[in-house]
Chains A and B, each alone.
Chain A
Amino acid sequence: MVRIRALWSMTAVRLSLIYTLVFGLFAVALITYTTANTTRLLLQQTQRAVNDEINDLSLIYRSGSLSRLIRVIERRARAPGASLYLIADSSGRIIAGNVRDIEPGILGKKGWTKEPFPYEGFGHDDEFVHYAVARVFDLPGGLRALIGRDLGEPDRFRSIARRSLILALAIMVLLGILTWVFVGRRALRRIDSLSLSSKRIMAGDLQERLPLSGSGDEFDRLSANLNQLLGRISKLDEGLKQVSDNIAHDLKTPLTRLRNKAEHTLSADASKAAYRKAMEEIISESDTLIRTFNALLMIARVEAGSKTGDFSTFDLASVLFDVHELYEPLAEEAGVEFTITAAPSALVRGNRELLGQAVVNLVDNALKYAVEENENQPRVWLELTIDEFHAHIIVRDNGAGIPEADRERVKDRFVRLDKSRTKPGTGLGLSLVDAVARLHDGGFVLGDNEPGLVADIMIPLDKSTSR
């Protein structure tokens, strides 16, 4: 019982059984319909033949006499494979014809017999009961005649139909089982191998992937999708690992510095002014730590971020003008020529605040690096251009730039090139820009401004709202 239930719980078994059942029902219905129709047709044909014969005989009777009619009937009755002929007197005694015995009630009613009736004919030496349909009519002189046809033919047909029905059902059941064996078992094996692999993956190795048969069928598509899912999970997992590594390396260092400073101040016999100075340093160091921590969380959030929450459609130009307006006084004070050129309109769908922060990070950097070691007039350009599919936010400066070999690396978290180590900063600014660009399905590329750095954020244009 348990085993049957277990068997039933398999999709393949269930599907095969249902399939067999439905198909069988259809077959039975079809064959029944065909048989019934054919039987009716055969019956009609038989009746027509009998009617024709009666008309024929009545012609003979009208042209001759009763004795001639009986002679004709006797002759016809002796022919092989003949119809049923019977003439009886008023008491019901059979006086002529090829019927030996008949149910007594049959001759009582005139016209067509309602149902096929059994009879016994001469020369019937087999054990079968023969059935016939017949028409009964009166002859002059109190005689009664019956002319009919044996139903052997339709009966044989019915039995053939019944046999083929049973055969068809047997084949159907056999086919169902075979289908299950070949299709179902194969599918089951694939599913088993899938669930086995996923168990292994769950047990630990996120790098493992589900096997593909290469046939491109549903199972392959399912496996491919699950593999993509695994890829995304392991990427997020790596991101998480990286963040915790970062925290370990780059937050522990300043924390240690903080602790050492406090410890040193406490152990030294310091003056009140020295205490004060140490405390101020500690506060500023903690502020830097907090800022770093916030930036890290922010990047993690952007990287895990959904696109729906804070996304809206807006003009990127307004974001750039805001940033330019915010930084323009600072640039002027630092003696940097800070210009903005923006395409009239660049509608994008995105998170306005995050894009604003990305541009601020780039402009902040550009201003910082434009002023140092620059014999020329320091300059920063903020530009917005559009091509067919993207808006480009381009921030250029004529500072020292970044060597080509380092341009990808600086996007990673906490990567600071040696010359910038002495400056304030978390080493997270470009990582955030990169994360924001990726959140918007865009890109972030660093290049050479000859001299200086050119940073390009690509954001897809929002085509749905443009004319």
Chain B
Amino acid sequence: MKILLIEDDLEAADYLMTSLKEVGHVAEHAAEGETGLAMAIDGDYDVLIVDRMLPKMDGISVISSLRKEGIQTPVLILSALSQVDDRVTGLRAGGDDYLPKPYAFSELLARIEVLCRRRVSGESETNYVVGDLEMDRLAHVVRRNGVEIILQPREYRLLEYLMKNAGQVVTRTMLLENVWDYHFDPQTNVIDVHVSRLRSKIDKDFDEQLLQTVRGTGYILKSEKG
């Protein structure tokens, strides 16, 4: 994956670049908004990571200029500003996802991988298939090995999100944001119980466990059989 990082804090950028390269991505860095914008327009990146506050041209202007140029590369906004209004401003300007500072690298990684995948797969698939688990989104039916599984509405949405991002790590925060539309962090890990309930419905009595916990990060739904 080819990533452009636009971030003025050189130390943070350095750490992020190293970490991204360690997990096998190609990463380039711009320290200023204008340089970043020029690079984003010329280079063929899979995803952009843009800091909200940059000297001279700020992150929001970079994103809106980019969108005006017709460039639809997914953008993850990093911001030190407090969440409530800032997230809305960022997404309105054309950002695709928002991550407040400070963040865990695993969270950032999960988010850019999902952003990048979404671009390839698109949203309009009517069927999701992971191994022998299938979801018919038109009929709202989930089957494993041909046998229908009855899910509660929220469990269905949870599974839908996991299947859409199958093979990708999704974090608890991503689930809270996308399945529950909560943009804050409850003190107790409520998500875990929901996931384990779902797991008991789709993985119980099967040899292959599709829904796995990624320690310290979140969950992944995948099948070795493809």
- Chain A residues packing against B (C-beta within 8 Å): 286, 290-291, 294, 297-298, 301, 309-310, 322, 325-327, 329-330, 333, 353-354, 356-357, 360-361, 364, 367-368, 424-426, 429
State which of B118-126, B140-148, B166-174, B179-187 sits at the interface with chain A: B179-187
**Residues from chain B with Cβ under 8 Å of A309 in the complex:** 85
CA distance A426 to B187 in the complex (A): 9
- Per the bound structure, the CA–CA distance linking A291 and B187 in Å amounts to 9
Q: B190 to A301, Cβ gap below 8 A?
A: no
Residue of A with least CB distance to B180? A326
Which residues on the B side are within 8 Å of A298 (C-beta)? 82-84, 184
Query: In the complex where A326-B180, A329-B197, A330-B193 touch, is A360 in contact with B186 (Cβ < 8 A)?
Result: yes
Other 20 A-B pairs with CB < 8 A, given A294-B185, A327-B190, A353-B182: A286-B102, A291-B185, A291-B187, A294-B100, A298-B83, A298-B84, A298-B184, A301-B82, A301-B84, A309-B85, A310-B84, A310-B85, A325-B154, A326-B180, A326-B182, A326-B194, A356-B182, A364-B188, A368-B188, A424-B187
A333 touches B85 (CB 8 A): no
User: Would B186 and A333 count as touching, CB distance under 8 A?
Assistant: no
Task: Give which listed residue, A330, A353, A361, A425, contacts B84 with CB less than 8 A.
Answer: A353
A-B contact pairs, 17 of them (CB 8 A): A291-B185, A298-B83, A298-B184, A326-B182, A326-B190, A326-B194, A329-B190, A330-B190, A330-B193, A353-B84, A353-B182, A354-B84, A357-B182, A360-B184, A360-B186, A364-B186, A364-B188
Given contacts A310-B84, A353-B184, contact A333 B154 (CB under 8 A): no
Q: How many B residues have CB within 8 A of the partner chain? A: 19
List of A residues within 8 angstroms of B190 by Cβ? 326-327, 329-330
B194 to A, closest residue via Cβ = A329
Does A364 contact B187, Cβ atoms closer than 8 Å? yes
Q: How far is A425 from B186 in the complex, measured between Cα atoms in Å?
A: 11
Bound-complex Cα distance A354 to B85 (A): 12
> Are B82 and A357 in contact, with the CB atoms below 8 A?
no
Pairwise interchain contact A330-B188, C-beta atoms closer than 8 A: yes
Cβ of B197: which chain A residues have Cβ within 8 Å of it? 329
Measured between alpha carbons, how far is A424 from B186 in the docked complex, in Å? Answer: 12
Within B173-226, which residues are at the interface with A (CB < 8 Å)?
Answer: 180, 182-188, 190, 193-194, 197
B interface list, Cβ under 8 A from A: 82-85, 100, 102, 154, 180, 182-188, 190, 193-194, 197
Distance of A360 Cα from B183 Cα, bound (Å): 12
Give, as a whole number of angstroms, the nearest-CB distance from B112 to chain A.
Answer: 21
Which chain B residues lie closer than 8 Å to A329 at the CB level? 190, 193-194, 197
Q: CB-nearest residue of chain B relative to A426?
A: B187
Measured between beta carbons, the chain A residues less than 8 angstroms from B85 are 309-310
Q: Contact at A294–B82, with CB atoms within 8 Å?
A: yes
Bound Cα distance from A326 to B197, whole angstroms: 12
Residue in A310, A322, A354, A429 whose CB lies within 8 Å of B187: A429
Q: What is the bound-complex CA distance between A297 and B194, given in angstroms?
A: 29
CA distance A353 to B84 in the complex (A): 9
Name the A residues within 8 Å of B83 (CB-CB): 294, 298
Contacts of B186 in A (CB 8 A): 326, 360, 364
Question: Closest residue to A289 on the B side, CB-wise?
Answer: B102
